Structure 1
Amino acid sequence: MSITTWMHRNLFDPTYVTHDLEWPSRFAVTCWLLWKRRCCLVLGSEEGYRGPIRAWPAFGGGMQTDDLGQWLLGFARFVGRCDVLVAELWGIHNGLLRAWGLCYPRVELESDCLEAVRILTSSLDALVDSALVTSIKELLVQECRVVVCHVGRSINRVADMVALWDRGLVGEQLTLLDPYANIAAVLEEDISGSISAIGESVGVG
């Protein structure tokens, strides 16, 4: 459904969420908090990060491809109860660890999370006390050259699928050496368009 329809149903349709009578108010407040958090990040204010929004069990992961978009591996792990931004940062951290361990001299890191990209590519003070962000930034200055860039969600479909491919193995880190059929099909579609993610040793700008 469109975002307008989705918001209208959450706010005004009592049959949309029947198990929570307070859902319309909860939904409205959550949307406002998320919007405030995003605005604080974009405008360079730390205020929006003083009280992190704890949400549902989260999974972080992604994939590595070569410079032609061909599959190298996928990875995912359960990262606990956190918000989407922290889950994305965990996926980035795990991807960089794997790329660094394989000694790629050049790595292009693509994320569809603009907030994560801004945190890693600017002097923004958001999440400045986070050990996770500190660890990622230390990985970014290793011997390999890393380029961090933001991509649209439509380009990042495969990474999103991999991050969620098996929610049953909570606590384990999963590695997918060969893509499942549905993942491979989406990957082939992406190869025909704009491609590349974490990976490959040559040819990355």
Structure 2
Amino acid sequence: MEESCVCLNTDGSLRPDEGFVAAGGLAQYQNDRWIMVFSKYLGNYTMMEAKLWGILNGLKLILDRRFESILIQIDSLEAVNAIQEGVFSTSNSTLLRRIH
């Protein structure tokens, strides 16, 4: 892959004692050269929602930098299925439609 292709790796984390989640990840070129890292405290969400927010936030940051070729890497088949089935239905879902 050429250097204009970006790999987006995201995940969520949960604080079990309080139920608060955060999402974050990193974007890098195929040659492992980092572009950016990001994280965001989300509050009281499910782990699945945290994973989806991580993808959405990462995509927004990458698109803001004008990259067009993006490979998303995530460890959740459930999140992939939710995106493919269009389950992610918040006001920010227009970003997903723009990308698709």
* TM-score, length of structure 1 as denominator length: 0.37
C-alpha RMSD of matched pairs (Å): 2.0
Q: Equivalents in 2 of 1:64, 1:102: separation in Å?
A: 11
Task: Output the CA distance in 2 between the equivalents of 1:140 and 1:120.
Answer: 12
- Pair 1:120 & 2:83 matched: yes
* Counterpart position of 2:11: none
Is structure 2 residue 94 aligned with structure 1 residue 135? yes
Q: 1:64 touches 1:73 (CA, 8 Å); kept in 2? A: yes
Counterpart position of 1:78: 41
Distance in 1 (alpha carbons) for counterparts of 2:94 and 2:25: 18
**Cα displacement (A) at 1:84:** 0.6
Identity %: 23
Aligned to 1:94: 57
Structure 1, unpaired ranges of 5+: 1-54, 142-205
How many pairs does the alignment contain? 83
What is the alpha-carbon distance in structure 1 between the residues aligned to residue 98 and residue 73 of structure 2? Answer: 15
Superposed counterparts of 1:1-205, under 5 Å = 56-121=19-84, 124=85, 127=87, 130-131=89-90, 134-141=93-100
* Residue pair 1:60, 1:90 contacting (<8 A) in 2 also: yes
Larger-gyration structure (1/2): 1
Structure-1 residue corresponding to 2:4: none
4+ long deviations beyond 6 Å: none
CA contact (8 A) 2:56 2:96 kept: no
Instruction: Give the 3-state SS of the residue equivalent to 1:95 in structure 2.
Output: helix
The answer as to whether partners of 1:96 and 1:139 remain within 8 angstroms in 2 is no
Q: Which runs of 5+ in 2 are unaligned?
A: 1-17
Hey, what does 2:9 align to over in structure 1? none
Distance 2:91 2:76 in 1: 16
State the match for 2:14 in structure 1.
none
CA contact under 8 A between 1:60 and 1:78: conserved in structure 2?
yes
TM-score of the superposed pair, with normalisation by structure 2: 0.72
Distance change in 2, residues 1:62/1:139 (3 Å): farther
- The equivalent of 1:44 in structure 2 is none
Displacement of 1:134: 2.2
